[in-house]
Amino acid sequence: MFVLCMENTDNNFESSSDTRNRLLYAAEKLFCQRGFEGTSVRDITAEAGCNIAAVNYYFGSKEKLYEELFHMRLSEKIQGHMKTIEQVCARPDATLEDLLRELVRPTMESALRGDTWSRVVRFLVREALHHRFGRDKIAEELIDKFFERLAAAFRQLLPGLEKRAAWRAVLTFESLVMHPILFFEMYDLVLPGFTVKEITEQIVRVGAAGLRSCLKGTAE
């Protein structure tokens, strides 16, 4: 069910049925653009080029389709990030900048293409705005696991980083990564002609400096 590596791919669902795959793909596109309530089953089936009844046939309801999509994409995103962390942290000469860059780059490239990874982020933010975190046990555990691994990686690459400071660092870093995806239009307005490299290096530079400043303790 879960696809480990999804860079440079897009419509990579593994369902048994073609129609089912097209429904998942169409639903993801529309949910991320217009939200759950803003998307009708009719919109989804039209985009997928199949009949209105198909959503209920394959998923039972519009809501179950959404949930399956959300858990699937969240798992993919987190498993991809986990793999990246393992790979970078296994290198004896790895720096904090290396880790940040490897985590940020695929996300930024995806944001420019508007494909899967950026959709997953939009999914997550929509969920957060709807206050669904903390109620969904599957999502909560996945995010918790990932944050714990990332905090450990930060402490490995930044010796002396306290435990609570590492957790703050995780949240801070995530905010830097998400922002360009959410405010893509604004970036284009303010930084006309910006490139993936410019944004990626900005996040790596600011993230590394910011994270290093967390070593100094909480005193202002």
What does the binding site for DNA look like in residue numbers (CB under 7 A)? Answer: 16-20, 39-43, 50-57, 60-63
Please, which residue, 63 or 198, has the CB nearer to DNA?
63
- When the beta carbons of 9 and 61 are compared against DNA, the nearer one is 61
Work out how close the CB of 127 gets to DNA at its nearest, in angstroms, rounded to a whole number: 18
Q: Is the dihedral of CA 145, 149, 154, 160 positive or negative?
A: positive
Q: Residues 73, 76, 79, 85: is their CA dihedral positive or negative?
A: negative
Considering the complex, state which of residue 34 and residue 135 has its C-beta at the smaller distance from DNA: 34
In sequence order, the 6+-apart residues with CB closer than 8 A to the CB of 42 are 52
Strands (E), the chain: none
93 binds a copy of itself, rule: CB under 8 A:
no
| Residue with smaller CB distance to a copy of itself, 39 or 45 | 39
The string over 24-37, giving b where at least 16 C-beta atoms fall within 10 Å of a residue's C-beta and e elsewhere, is: bbbbbbbbbeeebe
**Looking at 11-19, 67-75, 80-88, 184-192, which segment touches a copy of itself (CB under 8 A)?**
184-192
Instruction: Decide: is 156 part of the binding site for a copy of itself (CB under 8 A).
Output: no
State the binding partner of 91 from DNA, a copy of itself, none, CB within 5 to 8 A by kind. none
62 lies in the site for a copy of itself, by CB under 8 A:
no
Q: How far apart are the first and last CA of the chain?
A: 48
CB of 19 to DNA, least distance (A): 4
Note whether 37 binds a copy of itself by CB under 8 A: yes
Cβ proximity to a copy of itself: between 16 and 219 the closer is 219
- At residue 81, what is the residue type? H
**Backbone φ, ψ for residue 218 (5° rounding):** -90, -15
Local structure of residue 14 (DSSP, 8 states): -
CA dihedral of 170, 174, 176, 178, whole degrees rounded to 10: 180
Q: Rounded to whole angstroms, how far apart are CA atoms 29 and 22?
A: 11
Binding site for a copy of itself (CB under 8 A): 33-38, 97, 122, 125-126, 128-131, 133-134, 140, 143-144, 147, 164, 167-168, 170-172, 174-176, 178-180, 182-183, 185-191, 198-199, 201-214, 216, 218, 220
